Structure 1
Amino acid sequence: MKIKYYFLSALAACVLVSCGDKMDYKEFKIDDAEYMKKKFERAGGLVTSMYSRLDSDFGNYSNAMLSSATDESVFSTAGNAVESFYNGAWGPTNANSSIWTSCYQGINYCNLFLNEFNNLTFDEYKMDLDYKAEIHQYNNFQFEARFLRAYFYFLLVRQYGDVPFFTSSLDAATTNTLPRTSAEDIFKFIDDECVAIKDTIIKDYTDLGKMALTVSENGRANNLAVLALRARAALYHASPLFNPDNNQELWKKAAQANLDVINACKSRGMALSTDYAGLFLEGSYKDSKALKELIFGNRLYSLNINFETNNFPVGMSGAGAGGKGGNCPSYNLYEAYEAGDVRLAATIAKNGDAWPNVNTQELQTYRGGANGLPTANATPTGFYLKKYVNGGTQISGSSVSTRNDRTWVIFRLAEFYLNYAEAYLNLTDKSGFTMTAANAINTVRNRAGLGNLSDGEATLDACKKERFVEFAFEGQRFFDVRRWKEGSKYFQNIYGLEITKNADGSFTETKKLVGAGLLPNARDWQEKMNLFPIPQSEIMKNPNLTQNPGW
C-alpha cells in the first residue's frame, strides 16, 4: 500500500466544487510543509485534497455504473468492465475497484493534516481584518478531516471487511507491514469519531462571518453529515454480513442513530423534497427544494458531457443524436414500481415516452424501432436511464454542451427513514421507539405519490423493495444486497422486456431472462462476492496482508 504524499490539482476533469473564491485553494506538495503552515488558505489546499478522494459513480467502469452489476440495469455494450462482477473474470488480479487506493490516499491526507497542520495560529496575520473569520474556518478543518477519514474507512470496511488501519502519517515501508484490523474495530472507530466530533464540527457554513457561503453547503461536512455517517455505518454493522449472530444491541443502536438523523434534520426545517427528480438534476446543490433533503454530496463539475452521451438513447435525431444507450434499467426494477409512483418517470424512460427537452418524438424501444434493437448499442432491456441524466444537454449539432454541474448524492434524508424502518423491523424488542416502520416507510412513499402501508404491510421485504426504487442508480443496491447476504436471490436472474410492434400498431411485450437470447452474459453469483478481493498487488507488497475467504 504505497501512498505518495502529494496533493491533487483541483482543476482535474471531475473535481470537488467549492462555493466561490472563499474555498478556492491551490495545489501544494509535502516538501512545501513550512510554506503551507504560514497561511490559512495553504492548509486549506490539503483539505481540498481530502475531499477530492470522495466517491461518485457517473460511469466508473468504462462508462458503466456499478448499478449495471446489480438487478437495476444492464449495460448496452457487451464486453464492458462491469461484467467482471458476474462473468467469472473478477478476482485478486482483477480487483475491479479503485476504492482501496483512493481511500488510503484520502486517509493519508487526513492523517497528514491532523498530525502536521492542525492547531496552527498563523500569528503573522493576527492583525488582518479577516483573521477571526479565517481562523474560525481553519479550526473546523480538523473536524472535516476526522469526518472524511471515518468516511473513507467506512467505504473500505463496506467493501473489504477487515482492512489495515492507522491514524498516523506513515511511510510506505511501514504501511506495507500492517495487518488487517477487524471490521468490528473499524466500525467502532467510525462510531467513536462521529460521537466525538458531532457537537464540535460546524453546523452551518453560513455561520462564518465574512467567510460565509451564500448557499447551503452540502459539499462540505457539517454535523448532519457526521450523524448521517454514524447512522449508515451502524446499519451496516447490524446487517447479516457483519452481524451473523443477529446481535440485537446493534440493531437497536442502528435504529436510534438513524432516528437521530431524522430528528436533527427536522430541527433544521428539513424534509423530503417535493421534487424527487430535481434531487439529481444539474444545479441541485443550489435548488431550494433539493436542499431541504440533501445532507452531503460530492459536488462535481465535468468539463465534458460524457455521462449524457453515454446514456442518451441511440437513434435520436436533432441535438440528442448520437446517444450510446449506456446503463439500461432492467425489467426487475421497472416492475418494482407501483402504479402512480412518480419515481418511475424520474428514473426510467420506456417505449412511447418522449425524451425530455430534446424532441416530442416518442421513444421507439421496440425491435426495429428507431431506438431499439438491432441498432448497435440500443437498449437490451427496453428501457433507458433518466435519473442523473440531464435531458437538456446538447450532445450533437451546432451548439454542443461543454459541461454539466452535478452532485453525486452521498447522504439524503430519505435514506434515514428507510434505514430506521429496516433496523426497527429487525428488532425483537421495539419498546422505546414510537415511530413505527410503517410511519417511516410511508413518509417516503407519500412523497412518491403512493398511499400508506399498514403496520402489517410494512414488512422487511416491503422496506427492501422501497429501497430498491427509491435509491436506484445511487450506488446503494450493490452493497445493500451484499450486506443482506441475498445476492443469489436478487442478482442472478435479471430480466429485460422484448417489445415487438404488431401490424395494428399495438405492442407485444415479452419478459426475457438474461442469457435467453435478448441480453448479454448470464450472471453468476457466489457467496465470496459479498466482499471484494484484496488486490493481489497489495498482498504482494505486504506479507502480513491476508486475502478474503474464497478469493
Structure 2
Amino acid sequence: MKRYIYIFLSFSFILNFIACDLEELPQATASRIAIFETASGLELYSNSFYEMLPTPYDGVFAIDDNSDLIARNNVDSRFMPNALSPATSSGWSWSNLRNINYFIENTEQSPVAEKEHYLGLARFFRAYFYFGMIKRFGDVPWIDRTIDVDDDETLYGPRHDRFAVMEYVLEDLNYAIEHISTISEPTRTLITKDVARAFKTRVCLYEASFRKYHTQYGKEGTANTWFEEVVKTADEIKGYSLVEGANAYRNLFLQKTPNSNETILAVTLDANLQVFSSRNRRTISPTYGNRPSLTRRFINTYLNIDGNPFTSDPDYKTTPFTEEVKNRDLRLGQTIRVGDYHRTENGAPIIAPPNLEQAYTGYQIIKGCYDERFPYDDESRNENAHLIFRYAEILLNKAEALAELGTMTDAEWASTIGALRTRAGIQGTTLTQKPSTADPYMIEFYDGKFTDPVLLEVLRERAVEMITEGLRPDDLIRWRLGDLFAEAPMNGMYVPALGDYDLNEDGIMDVCFYRGERPSSSQASVFVDVTSAGVGNRILSNGDSGEIIWNPGAREWLDKKYLYPIPEADFLKNPNLGQNPGWE
C-alpha cells in the first residue's frame, strides 16, 4: 500500500505546476529542482501515473457485465437505442497525457543517473493512455510534448490516423521494456519490464485482430506483424507459472496479497487506509450494482472433465441445472455456485444454492467474491486484490496469435491451452494435441466468423479462463463481432416444468417457478414469476418449461458503435477534430 501514500504525496507535491486545460502550460515552481534533479523526486512524480490504472473500488470485474456472456439488470447506454450520441459521449480528456509529457520533457534534461528508468515508466503510461483513447475514439491527435499556448496548429488541429498512432504506442512500449530497470518485483504492484511486456502482448493482439477483421480499413496485410510481436514478447516473459492445487483458480482472486507466481500486476487494497473494493456488493447484492450472472449460452462452452464438449450430448439443451454442472471443467464450480457450495454468515456456515433473486439466469457468480456475507454483500468492504495482468492471459494471448498465424504445434498447444486445462482438471488428448475438428457449437457461438478448430478452442479457453476480468468487450470489438452485444440471448438454466426445484440436491426446495397466482403450497424460499415477458421480467422459453429468458430491456447494435462519438462540446471547440463515421 506504499504506492497509495506515494500517489497522495505526489499530487500534493506537483499540483502547483500541472495544467488543467490543453492550452495551459505547466508552471514551474521552486519544487521543480527537487523533483527533476533527484531520483526520489522522479520516483515521487512518476507514482502519480498509477492513478491511471483501474481504481481500487471498481477494479476490472464489472467490465464484462457489458458483454455477450453475462446477463445484468438494465442495458448500458452504449447498447440502449438512441442513448449514445455526441451530446452524451464522454472521455475526451487529456490531463493525464499533459502530466506525462511534462514529466518526459523535464526528465530528459535531468542529471539523475537513473532517469532512463523513469522515462521508461512514463512512456509505458503514455502507451497505456493512448491505447485507451484509440479503442474509444479511433483517430486521435498524437501529442508527445507539452503545448505552447500559441500553438494553434496543435491545439486546434485535426486528429491523426489511429494506425499511425498505434505505431507510436508500440515504440513507447518497446522503449519501456528496454529502459525500465526492474524485471519483476515481489509485491506485483509496480510497473516492471514484465508488466510492460504483458501489456504489449495485449495491445498487439488487439491491434492485430482489429487490422485483420475490420477490413474496411484495408490493413489486413499488416496484421501478422502484430501477431508475431505477441508471440515474441510472450516468450520473453519468464519466471511465472500457473498456480496449482485444489480450488487454485478461485483462490487466486480472493487473496489480499496477490500470488506472485501467476500475478504480473495487481491493484491492492488496505483497510488501514480505507481503500476497499465493491466486488461482493456489486456482484451479489439484489439492490446494488448490475446483479450479473452468466448466461447458459456461455455455460454450455465449459468442457466436460473428460475433455469432450458438453454440447456433444444430444440432450444438452434439456439437461437441468443439477445435472449439467456435474463432471465439468473444475473452473465452472469455482466461478458460479454449484452443488454443495457453502457460505458463512458471521462465521457460521450456511448452505448457499443459486439465489434467483440475486442472479437472473441462476448461474450465480462467486469468482472474486468472499464467501462471508457480512459485511461484504451489503457494504463495499472487499480487500482482495484486483489482478490486472496474470500469466494465464499471456499464455492465451500467445496461443491466439499462434492460431491466427497458423503456426500452432502440439508442443505449443500443450504449454499454453493444455497447461490451463490441466489446472482445470480436464483430462484426455485435449491436453497434449491441438484439435483437428471444429466444434459446431463454437462455430455457431461466434456467428460462423471462425471455423478453424484450433482458433475456436483457444477462444473457448479464453472466455472460460478470463471471465469477469474485463477483456470480453474489447475482444468482441477487435473481432468485429459487435452484433453479439445485442443479439446474444440472456438465457438461463433449463426448467423442465413449473414448480419447485432443489438446486443443490440437499432435499430443500430453493426456487419455485410459477405463472399467474403464486402457489401457496410451495415450500421454496425464492419465487420466480414467469408470466410476463416485459422489461425486467423472466419467462420460460416454451411457456411452462424451457430456458429462463431474462429481459433487461431493448438492446441495439449499430456498426458506428465500434467507436464512441467525439463529445459535442469538444467538437464545437475544435471542429477540425471531425466526427466519427455515423455520428455526424
Give the TM-score, by structure 2 length. Answer: 0.71
**Deviations for 1:463-514, whole angstroms, at most 9, x for unmatched residues?**
212111111111100010111011224641222326552599678999x999
Aligned to 2:265: 296
Whether 1:280 aligns to 2:253 is yes
Q: Distance in 1 between matches of 2:127 and 2:402?
A: 25
Whether the 8 Å contact between 1:53 and 1:105 is mirrored in structure 2 is no
Q: How does 1:73-84 map to 2 (within 5 A)?
A: 73-76=70-73, 78=74, 82-84=76-78
Q: Does 1:539 align with 2:584?
A: no
1:162 aligned to 2:139? Answer: yes
Change (3 A) 1:550 1:435: farther
Matched, 1:115 2:147: no
Answer whether contact 1:17 1:299 (CA < 8 A) is retained: no
Residue deviations 1:190-214, cap 9 Å, x none? 22222233222113466xxxxxxxx
Partner of 2:223 in structure 1? Answer: 250
The equivalent residue for 2:196 is 226
Cα pair 2:257 2:268 within 8 Å, conserved:
no
Partner of residue 372, structure 1: 356
- Note closer, same or farther for the CA distance 1:120–1:403 as it changes in structure 2 (3 Å cut): farther
Contact 1:483/1:530, CA 8 A, preserved across alignment: no
Q: Distance in 2 between matches of 1:147 and 1:58?
A: 23
Separation (CA, whole Å) in 1 of partners of 2:265 and 2:577: 33
> Following TM superposition, by how much is the alpha carbon of 1:45 offset from its aligned partner in structure 2, in angstroms?
3.4
1:404-415 alignment, distance < 5 Å: 404-415=382-393
Aligned AA (2:133): L
Q: State the SS of the aligned residue for 2:576.
A: coil
Match of 1:306 among 275, 278, 282: 278
Q: Secondary structure at the match of 1:544?
A: helix
Q: Distance in 1 between matches of 2:7 and 2:303?
A: 46
SS in 2 for 1:387: coil
C-alpha distance after superposition, 1:403-431 (max 9, x if no partner): 43343333222222222222222225x39
- Residue 127 of structure 1 is matched in structure 2 by none
CA distance in 2, matches of 1:406, 1:312: 16
Give a deviation string over 1:80-131, Cα, whole Å, max 9, x none.
6x35434441222222x64x42xx3222211010112444347xxxxxxxxx
One-letter identity of the residue aligned with 1:182:
D
Match of 2:399 among 421, 434, 440: 421
Which residue pairs with 1:211 in the alignment? none
SS of the equivalent of 2:231 reads: helix
SS at match of 2:369: coil
**1:18 and 2:3 matched:** yes
The size of the alignment, in residue pairs, is 478
Residue 360 of structure 2 aligns to which amino acid in structure 1?
Answer: P
Aligned partner of 1:34 in structure 2 is 30
Shift of 1:460: 1.7
Q: CA deviation at 1:540?
A: 1.9
**What's the CA shift string for 1:353-407, capped at 9, x where partnerless?**
3236765333354xxxxx334xxxx32221332222233363179xx98843343
Shift of 1:341: 1.9
Quote the Cα distance in structure 2 between the aligned partners of 1:351 and 1:304. Answer: 30
User: In structure 2, what is the Cα distance between the partners aligned to 1:411 and 1:528?
Assistant: 30
How much has 1:168 moved relative to structure 2?
A: 0.6
1:146 partnered with 2:123: yes
Other-structure match for 2:371: 391
| 3-state SS in 1 of match to 2:54 | coil
The letter of the residue matching 2:282 is N
- Alpha-carbon distance in 1 for matches of 2:289, 2:32: 46
Aligned equivalent of 1:67: 64
Aligned twin of 2:519: none
Please tell me whether the aligned partners of residues 493 and 514 of structure 1 are also in contact (alpha carbons under 8 angstroms): no
State the SS of the aligned residue for 1:295: strand
Q: Deviations over 1:54-85 (max 9, x none)?
A: 23596589xx9232221222234x4x6x3543
1:51 matched to 2:36:
no
CA contact (8 A) 1:354 1:360 kept: yes
The Cα offsets for residues 304-323 of structure 1, whole Å up to 9 and x where unpaired, read as 55332232254xxxxxxx87
2:269–2:277 Cα contact (<8 Å) kept: no
* Pairing partner for 1:94 from 81, 88, 93: 88
C-alpha distance in 1, partners of 2:48/2:225? 36
Larger radius of gyration: 2
- Secondary structure of the residue that 1:159 maps to in structure 2? helix
Aligned residue in 1 for 2:315: none
Q: In the TM superposition, what is the alpha-carbon distance from 1:324 to its structure 2 partner? A: 6.7
In structure 2, runs of 5+ residues without a counterpart are: 18-26, 305-327, 438-452, 515-529, 540-549
- Equivalent residue, structure 2, for 1:3: none
CA contact 1:111–1:168 (8 Å) conserved in 2: yes
Distance 2:569 2:255 in 1: 38
| In the alignment, structure 1 residue 355 sits paired with structure 2 residue 343 | yes
Q: Given the superposition, is the C-alpha separation of residues 404 and 495 from structure 1 closer, same or farther in structure 2, using an over 3 Å criterion?
A: closer
Q: Distance in 2 between matches of 1:489 and 1:22?
A: 39
SS at match of 1:501: strand
Q: 1:323 to 1:152 in 2, by over 3 A?
A: closer
Residue segments in structure 1 that go unaligned for 5+ positions in a row: 1-15, 123-134, 207-215, 315-321, 366-370
The answer on whether the counterparts of 1:227 and 1:261 sit within 8 Å (CA) in structure 2 is: yes
Q: Is the 8 A contact 1:418 1:441 kept in 2?
A: yes
Residue 334 of structure 2 is matched in structure 1 by 346
- Mark the CA change 1:531 to 1:352 in structure 2 (over 3 Å): closer, same or farther: farther
- SS of 2:337's partner is strand
When normalised by structure 1's length, the TM-score is 0.75
Partner of 1:470: 465
Aligned partners of 1:494 and 1:514 also within 8 Å: no
CA distance in 1, matches of 2:7, 2:475: 38
